[in-house]
Structure 1
């Protein structure tokens, strides 16, 4: 993958994502399966813990129905959210408030936009 392909449409860094890394690491995948069982009381199979990134086969994407992916890529035909005339939209800004990694992703997108 090229460097920019490791950054998701939303700005998350795929190489830091456990689900992305679990595709090639059964220990990480098992840890995620255990987390779902203990924290969410959901049984998932180890083979379900995989993602090749936003730009790959959606059947191998952790969240093929991701609202950000649908909006940015499917509806607007963009590569990254920062390319949108509404960036950062209210929905993306609210998403970023939910988690430090999401906030970092939004900031990464802002930086990418400044370089364009």
Structure 2
């Protein structure tokens, strides 16, 4: 299986956001992410478009800020792993 692993360990190749390219696909992803609680509102297509993990993202788990604070590139490189941010992400994902 092809992989592209993110900060938290997710595989981008299986992510609806990463795979959404048309306006309609992006809108469906924004609506889905709102329904499952990953956003507090339906965001614009521009906001939901994936441009990779970076420090300007304001994700619901705070992982970008966290890895910068701990001077690591991926969560699993951190001494605190698995931390509350990761445990919260896993718990919320269980309920989807």
Same fold (TM over 0.5): yes
* Whole-angstrom distance in 2 between the partners of 1:26 and 1:76: 36
* Whole-angstrom distance in 1 between the partners of 2:28 and 2:17: 10
Q: Secondary structure at the match of 1:9?
A: coil
**Aligned-residue CA RMSD (Å):** 3.3
Structure number with the higher helix fraction is: 1
1:38-86 Cα offsets, whole Å, 9 max, x none, are x48945333332012215xx55xxxx023111111x2122111111111
* Whole-angstrom distance in 1 between the partners of 2:78 and 2:9: 13
Alignment pair present for 1:71 and 2:72: no
Task: Describe how 1:1-116 pairs up with structure 2 within 5 A.
Answer: 6-22=4-20, 24-35=21-32, 39=35, 42-54=41-53, 64-66=57-59, 67-72=62-67, 74-100=68-94
Size of the alignment, in residue pairs? 90
Runs of at least 4 residues off by over 2 Å? 24-27, 32-37, 39-49
Unaligned runs of 5+ in 1: 101-116
TM-score (norm 1): 0.58
Q: Which moved more, 1:89-98 or 1:13-22?
A: 89-98
Unaligned runs of 5+ in 2: none
Structure exhibiting the larger radius of gyration computed from Cα positions: 1
